[in-house]
Amino acid sequence: METTFRGNELDGAVMTTRLDAVVNWARKNSLWPLPFGTACCAIEFMSVMASKYDLSRFGAEAMRFSPRQSDMMMVLGTVTNKMAPVLRTIYAQMAEPKWVLSVGVCASSGGMYRTYATLQGIDRVIPVDVYIPGCPPRPESMIYGVMKLQEKIEQESLSMRKDHIARFYESLDRQRELERGKDLTGHQAVHEMILEAAGRGAATIF
Ligand code: SF4
């Protein structure tokens, strides 16, 4: 059967767009958060999910504690050096594409914990997409951070190669090599990599 459309018959019936735009629209409105909560920022996050602030208004209410079912990690609290390899493993296990929000000064810079035991910023060991300042950040700040991430996702392309994620996996291989080769624990290997990176003048290990 042959169908021919003439003149304005298609008006209002057809819409054209880019595949990137449709996929990004779906992705940014269906983020599944994984809360990596270690301290007080995690308590503030509870109110973000509760009825008053209600993150589900942004399509991000499907919180999961399984990394394989999440694509937006929210690091909420102080991360110690011993937790660094755990954070890296959980990040590696998350579904792709994946994004990270560093929530509060502790996650972003170690905060007031300028000590040998505290990781001085999670971006030393995993890629971060959005930093949310504050101690703790108010729920409005966390929501603003999610909105900034949505804006970032809008600009992404399906063909875009995420170099920083590829480099992260390479650094994970290096970590495993160190663990096996020198019989180190995860956090010892990560610590050694941080020192190596500092020696090169780099702020991150990936
Ligand atoms: S930034 Fe402040 S509120 Fe958040 S974990 Fe650190 S000390 Fe607690």
pLDDT digits (tens, 9 = 90+) for 11-38: 778 888 999 999 999 999 999 999 999 9
Q: What pLDDT is recorded for position 157?
A: 87
Neighbours of 55 (CB within 10 A): 20
Q: Inform me whether the pLDDT recorded for 178 exceeds 90.
A: yes
Reported pTM: 0.91
Ligand 1 centroid distance, CA of 172 (Å): 28
Q: Is the shortest distance between the CB of 41 and ligand 1 below 6 Å? A: yes
Do 129 and 94 meet the contact criterion of CB atoms below 8 Å apart? no
Which atom of ligand 1 is closest in space to residue 136's alpha carbon?
A: 3
- CB of 105 sitting under 6 A from ligand 1: yes
* Residue 108 near ligand 1, beta carbon < 6 Å: no
Question: What is the chain's mean pLDDT, rounded?
Answer: 93
What was the pLDDT predicted at 162?
72
Alpha carbon nearest to ligand 1 atom 2, residue: 135
- Tell me, yes or no, whether 55 lies in a domain: yes
- Expressed in angstroms and rounded, the spacing between residue 167 Cα and the centre of ligand 1 is 29
Residue 202 belongs to a domain: no
Position in ligand 1 atom list of the atom nearest CA 78: 5
- Among 144-148, 161-165, 174-178, 187-191, which stretch is predicted with the lowest mean pLDDT? 161-165
Q: What is the pLDDT of residues 115-172, one digit of tens each?
A: 999 999 999 999 999 999 999 999 999 999 999 999 999 999 887 767 888 899 999 9
Evaluate whether residue 36 is within a structural domain: yes
Q: The CATH number of the domain where 81 resides is what?
A: 3.40.50.12280
Whether 104 is in the pocket of ligand 1, judged by its Cβ within 6 Å, is: yes
Instruction: Flag whether 171 is in a domain.
Output: no
What is the 112 CA–ligand 1 centroid distance (Å)?
Answer: 9
State the total domains in the chain. Answer: 1
CA within 13 Å, CB half, 49:
16
Query: Confidence class of residue 2 from pLDDT cuts 50, 70 and 90?
Result: low
Q: Which of 38, 102, 106, 114 to mutate to test the pocket of ligand 1 (most atoms within 8 A of CB)?
A: 106
For residue 139, is it within any domain? yes
The answer to the question of residue 176 being in a domain is no
pLDDT at 6: 67
114 pLDDT tier (thresholds 50, 70, 90): very high
Residues 50-64 pLDDT 10s: 999 999 999 998 999
What pLDDT is recorded for position 13? 81
The pLDDT, as a whole number, for residue 164 is: 82
Residue 3 has pLDDT above 70, yes or no: no
Q: Give the distance (Å) from ligand 1 centre to CA of residue 104.
A: 6
Instruction: Please give the residue range of the domain that contains residue 84.
Output: 19-156
> What pLDDT shows up at residue 201?
95
* Cβ of 137 below 6 Å from ligand 1: no
First to last CA, the chain: 58
- Whether 53 is covered by a domain: the verdict is yes
Distance from C-alpha of 92 to C-alpha of 169, rounded to nearest angstrom: 8
**The pLDDT of residue 14:** 83
